[in-house]
A and B are shown apart, each in its own frame.
Chain A
Amino acid sequence: MNAHRFWNWFLAPGTLWILVLFAAPLLLIFALSFGHVDDFGRGVYGFKLGNYDDVFNSTYLPVLLRSVGYALATMLICLAIGYPVAYYIARFGGRWRYVLLAALVIPFFVNYLVRTYAWVALLADEGLVNNAIVDLGLSDAPVQMINTPWAVIGGLVYGYIIFMILPLYGSIERMDQSVVEAGKDLYGSPLQTFIHVTIPATQAGILAGCVLVFLPSVGDFVSAQLLGGPDTYMVGNLIQDQFFAASNWPFGAALTMIMMLFLSVWMVLYLRRAAKGEAEVL
């Protein structure tokens, strides 16, 4: 057996599996998005653009834009919080480095629903945080935190920040420290050195982290469902509704396609780097 054929046998099962159960169904979503619902409430394939008209009408368009806005905010907050943490662990972690990393990963392995639910208990009007605020006399009445956009974004940050910190950590750890010294030798202020040397040197990690936080945030529906209300629903909630309560699969498929369109630029950007085997990707 020649080498090609031999190694292809290793590739075949996994490739086929992903093709049949993942790639092919993506085409089904695309096809169904042009369909309609028959008299029995079942999705039927067809060819009409009506579902896409509906996506862009005044009820649903704000939800799409809101989702992208929340996801961008989540991404930026994760970057702002994650960079210093990753930097500290990579540069000053010393022999505690792996303990610190492991401690970051632990919360991520607590069920996402349970973690988000914990925030409900903390942020509710009668919750622990508000009780503390009232007890300390910071405010007479509970501050409304739940059902606000910031609660939803906070839930997303909490859920996905690990995807930011790990790639950042990887790129900061790999960075050649002597270039920072060189920047300082050239009389760059620490801030200048950071902006002109450190950030460009860790660009791959920044990009990977941003993509890995942004993508799941856009499609999330758990945070908005548990920490928000109808005013903070995201496209994930809308899509989820179409496949369950509202039972309008074709419309749900159209929403999914539009969401994927928003995401495709990021996905391609990431995939091109990842396919080349760059280390920061995971």
Chain B
Amino acid sequence: MKSGSAFDKPRFLRVFTGLVYVFLFVPILVVIVFSFNSQKSLQVMDGISLRWYEDFFNDSTLRESLFISIEIALITMVVATVVGTALAIGLVRSRSRMAKGSNLLMLVPLVTPEIVAGISALLIFSQLGIGLSFWTIVLAHITFSISYVTIVVRGRLATIGIEIEDAARDLGASRLESVRLVLVPALWPAVVAAGLLVFALSFDDFVLSFFTTGEQSQPLPVRIWSMIRFGVSPTINAIGTLMMVVSISAVALAVMIPRFFGRRESGVKVLTGAEG
């Protein structure tokens, strides 16, 4: 028997990994459990009640913010998916100099701290004289979402050869038809998964919204920010739990979508770009 270092012993690794999962999940369980607390405490569970959820749904500004967040995420999802998919197709198929530039440009938002993206958006809007509103938030969200969609869709595109498109063209399809009738259907699972991912990211986004939100139309995370600064309240736990349900549903759908399309590969692979 070889004497194993820590890295050779699954047992050590298993315990360590288990502890990391505990670290990851304890805070989330705390949020969920105390959202059902019957008293206003985050230390002692007194009994189970839904009063913090009632508080949330009885508060018209919070309710409005929830719908604003969902609307922003939906619009972002649709626009970013269309633009990002087109960009991904262009990047993989085009050999032009523009493609090289776009490829680099598309990556920059992913490595820029969000606060910089927020300031960028704030400055361009104020420079153009556009008052901060619902639409400025949407525009800012779409910008970073395009890059996400492009990365996810491009990962799929790399596995699809150009042969079927060539075949379609040999059969008399125009370039556009070969994209529309052959390429897009083959990409569809990745496109839908990317869209749902973007929905979740946009729905949860705080920093970009924070810099691009005006007096009106505040999305939920911006409201949470001001609530937290006034002190802890189980209402925040209730909102957090509800948001969790919304975004995790979106992600779960994104993971399952490729299966709905009869693909055997896991959606996790599609989203993380892992190669099979």
Residue ranges of A at the interface with B (Cβ–Cβ < 8 Å): 1, 3-4, 6-15, 17-26, 28-29, 32, 81, 84-85, 87-89, 92, 98, 100-107, 109-115, 117-122, 126-128, 131, 158, 161, 166, 169-170, 173-174, 184, 189-191, 194, 198, 211-212, 215-216, 218-222, 226, 236, 239-240, 243, 249, 252-253, 256, 259-260, 263, 266-267, 270-271, 274-275, 277, 279, 281-282
Contact = CB atoms under 8 A, between A and B. Distances in A.
B119 A109 contact: no
Interface string B219-263: 001001100100010001101100110011001000100000000
Dominant secondary structure at the B interface: helix
Given A21-B124, A106-B248, 17 more contacts: A7-B90, A8-B99, A11-B98, A18-B105, A28-B120, A28-B127, A87-B13, A107-B25, A117-B224, A122-B26, A189-B5, A219-B114, A236-B115, A259-B116, A271-B104, A279-B274, A282-B110
B113 A11 contact: no
Interface stretch (B14-22, B50-58, B60-68, B185-193): B14-22
A32 B275 CA distance: 44
B101 A84 contact: no
B151 A282 contact: yes
Contacts of A29: 116, 119-120, 123
Interface string B142-178: 1100110011000000100000000000000001100
Nearest to B243: A111
A11 B111 contact: no
Contacts of A23: 105, 108
A16 to B, nearest CB: 9
A26 B93 CA distance: 29
A32 B20 CA distance: 44
A128 B30 CA distance: 9
27 contacts: A1-B175, A7-B89, A7-B90, A12-B90, A13-B83, A14-B150, A15-B102, A18-B106, A20-B124, A22-B117, A26-B120, A81-B20, A85-B20, A87-B7, A111-B240, A115-B31, A118-B27, A122-B30, A211-B111, A218-B113, A219-B115, A236-B113, A239-B119, A243-B122, A256-B119, A271-B107, A271-B108
Dominant secondary structure at the A interface: helix
A242 B92 CA distance: 41
Nearest to A21: B143
B126 to A, nearest CB: 8
Contact of B109 (A22, A119, A122): A22
Nearest to A257: B116
B123 A32 contact: yes
A218 B13 CA distance: 30
Name the interface size band of chain B. Answer: 35 or more
Query: 3 shortest A-B CB distances, which residue pairs?
Result: A219-B113, A10-B90, A14-B87
Contacts of A103: 21
B113 A215 contact: yes
A121 B33 CA distance: 12
Contacts, number: 296
Contacts of A220: 113, 115
A88 B17 contact: yes
A13 B268 CA distance: 28
A169 B269 CA distance: 12
Given A14-B106, A106-B248, A111-B224, A28 B123 contact: yes
Contacts of B143: 17-18, 21-22
A11 B8 contact: no
A112 B94 contact: no
Contact of B247 (A89, A109, A173, A226): A109
A105 B21 CA distance: 11
Contact of B175 (A6, A118, A173): A6
